[in-house]
Structure 1
Amino acid sequence: MQVNENWHQQLKNQHREHLIEAGKQLFLKHGLLQVKIKDVCAQAKLSRVTFYKHFQSLDELMLTIQMQLFDTLTEHISQAARPQEKGLAQLAAMLHAWVHFAQTHPDHIRFIQLFDMNYEVYRFPDELRATYDEFTRNGKENHFLLHALTAGTADGSIRNPAPPLKLAQFIFTVMMGMLQKMVTRRSGDIHPLDDQMMKQLVDMLLHYASHADTGWSDSANLT
């Protein structure tokens, strides 16, 4: 009996992942507004009945993909840090892991960009919007860069006077902005990340984090 239950749960999880992957591919290819449930089902080779066992709507699928991709990204980056190292070294490892992730998973970055561009104008149901807003709020308050920046402030390797949380949000905005620009699909081609440009960006952010003379003040807009 237990074996049978485990098999059914594995199959259910597999179907869910197939729907998520199908949705991601179709949203990237056609845009968020042009995809229908029947398209996702056809791509995943699953029925509408199976779809509704996992998601109440296409909107829920869309938000699920966005949150899953963010979690995958932040987990990958966080795993690069070694707690025994100084904060600046942890930050450097995380930024390099970030670039590597974008190089190996450009579709992840591209989908996050596509979702961000449409989120404010797309009419998500209030319940789903509240769920996503809570997700992003928790992500900002418990920022995945925060431990490294706090450790660096304590050990002296990070001397930027900005509060660690503000600095984390600034670094996130700069990194995602540049990575999203670099992986944008144009004319059907995927343009590889410019290694030299990304190295310069990482070096700039590390320099910014490790130096006290940054021109930062409490009134600076780092969010």
Structure 2
Amino acid sequence: MSTKWEQELDLMRQSRREQIMNAAYELVLENGLISITIVDIVKKAEISRVTLYKYYSSIHEIVFDIQIRILNEMSDLLGEKLKGKNGLEKLHDYFATFVRMYQTRPDYFRFAAMFDQFYQSSYPTPELEERYQSFTKQGIDLIEHIIEEGRVDGSIRAETNPPMMAQILSHIMMGTTQRIAARNEIYKTESKVDSEEMLNYLADFLTTSLAAAPSQA
């Protein structure tokens, strides 16, 4: 059992990490990933470079921690809201929660879009790659489980391939939401369709397209 001092030390360390991540997060949203430096982060966080290096050895580690924190929050929220009675209803709950996240946390998707673009061809280290992929796998596994549940209970088309469809649905929802979030101001002027309405329509369309025919249910 840890002592009170050790618990306080852990809280202090976590608070400092959060301070560094929050500073980097704001800088990325303001200037993009390619532009920020360690010097920028320590100035924004109001700490010394020595202090920062006690917690992180590179910008990559900070950025990956931010992205994983975002994915964790998304995963927690999505998991809590799946109240549907069958697989299809849970899938619709998943999409609806995804849309609500865009409404309340659009900058999460802006950050994720910049992250995906910056690391589009490779990961900085095998360790970061393994850690990050373990989190993304959780999201895919959740969708795959919902689809399989729907196939079993008869609410989702029996011929649906859960692993394949989980990947497709994840890319469609995340990719569309990221693009809208990243270009939101321009999108308002170049489109006659409201972005939130479009995401809700997409969620309904994807759900309906996977619904089993009445004779199968």
Distance 1:135 1:2, change over 3 A: closer
TM-aligned CA deviation for residue 211 of structure 1: 4.0
Report the equivalent of 1:46. 47
Tell me how far apart the structure 2 counterparts of residues 187 and 194 of structure 1 sit (CA, whole Å): 11
SS of equivalent to 1:143: helix
- Of 196-205 and 178-187, more deviation after overlay is shown by 178-187
1:30 and 2:28 aligned: no
SS of equivalent to 1:73: helix
Root mean square deviation, CA, Å: 2.7
The structure carrying a bigger helix percent of its residues is: 2
Distance 1:190 1:125, change over 3 A: farther
TM-score, normalised with respect to structure 2: 0.84
Q: Is contact 1:158-1:210 (8 Å) kept?
A: yes
Report the equivalent of 1:176. 174
Quote the sequence identity (%). 28
1:101 and 2:101 aligned: yes
Residue-pair matches, total = 209
Distance 1:188 1:171, change over 3 A: closer
TM-aligned CA deviation for residue 33 of structure 1: 1.7
Report the equivalent of 1:219. none
Tell me how far apart the structure 2 counterparts of residues 165 and 95 of structure 1 sit (CA, whole Å): 17
Tell me how far apart the structure 2 counterparts of residues 171 and 190 of structure 1 sit (CA, whole Å): 25
Tell me how far apart the structure 2 counterparts of residues 76 and 98 of structure 1 sit (CA, whole Å): 9
- Of 149-158 and 2-11, more deviation after overlay is shown by 2-11
Report the equivalent of 2:151. 153
Unaligned runs of 5+ in 1: 213-223
TM-aligned CA deviation for residue 179 of structure 1: 0.8
Distance 1:176 1:72, change over 3 A: same
Unaligned runs of 5+ in 2: none
Cα distance per residue 1:83-136 (max 9 Å; x no partner): 7x1111111111100000111111111111111112135772454345445554
TM-score, normalised with respect to structure 1: 0.82
Q: Is contact 1:74-1:144 (8 Å) kept?
A: no
SS of equivalent to 1:145: helix
